[in-house]
Amino acid sequence: MTENDNAVPEFARLEVPARAEFVSVLRLVVGAAAANYEWLRTERLDDLKLAISEACIALMAADAVTIQLTTYASQAQLDVELSAGGASAARSLPDNALEGSTKAFEFGTPLVSMLVDQVTVSRESDTVKLTVLRDPEIVH
């Protein structure tokens, strides 16, 4: 535990059209958000970026109009929330949003769950939350 462990998490937010060409932009933002956290080694960051892509594919399959990415980075963990926006045109994220419900997402299911420490899908807010913990052995 260091003094910085109790610091307020850094916060970043970006909303982009839910189109394939913008997914790489979201990956870049997360890379920047993670830049100051040495515990987030390159391999784990690569895994997180892949999980973000898979989550975006799921949100696009759910007819999201926009995708809003929010990151909360701290010395303890990095949370990435991906929310479907555009309200009226977007239908709810299906129950099996991360269970290979679309052809494009056929291989996504095992990927997301194995790439990050926690995955939370909220149908109410059409949000996928991905969490990478500094120490996955510690239960939060």
Partner 1 sequence: MDLGLDVTDSNGVSVLTVRGEVDVYTAPRLRERLVELAGEGKYRVIVDLEQVDFLDSTGLGVLVGGLKRLRTHDGDLQLVCTQHRILKVFEITGLTKVFSIFDSVESATSAE
Nearer to partner 1, 3 or 106 (CB): 106
Cα angle 8, 11, 17 (rounded to 5 degrees) comes to 165
Q: Name which position in 92, 110, 120, 123 contacts partner 1 (CB under 8 A).
A: 110
Per-residue x/- track, 4-23, partner 1 (CB under 8 A): ----------------xx-x
Q: How far is CA 25 from CA 8, 69, 106, in A?
A: 25, 10, 23
CB 40 → partner 1: shortest distance, Å? 15
Count of other CB atoms within 10 angstroms of residue 98: 22
Q: What element of type H or E holds 44?
A: helix 42-61
Q: How far is it, in rounded angstroms, from Cα 99 to Cα 105?
A: 8
The answer to whether 26 and 14 are in contact (CB under 8 A) is yes
CB 58 → partner 1: shortest distance, Å? 10
The answer to whether 59 and 15 are in contact (CB under 8 A) is no
CB 91 → partner 1: shortest distance, Å? 19
Per-residue x/- track, 27-66, partner 1 (CB under 8 A): x---------------x--xx-xx--xx-xx--x------
94: helix, strand or coil: coil
The interface with partner 1 within residues 73-102 (CB under 8 A) comprises none
Q: Give the number of residues in contact with partner 1, rule: CB under 8 A.
A: 25
Q: Which residues of this protein are in contact with partner 1, per CB under 8 A?
A: 20-21, 23-24, 27, 43, 46-47, 49-50, 53-54, 56-57, 60, 103-108, 110-111, 114-115
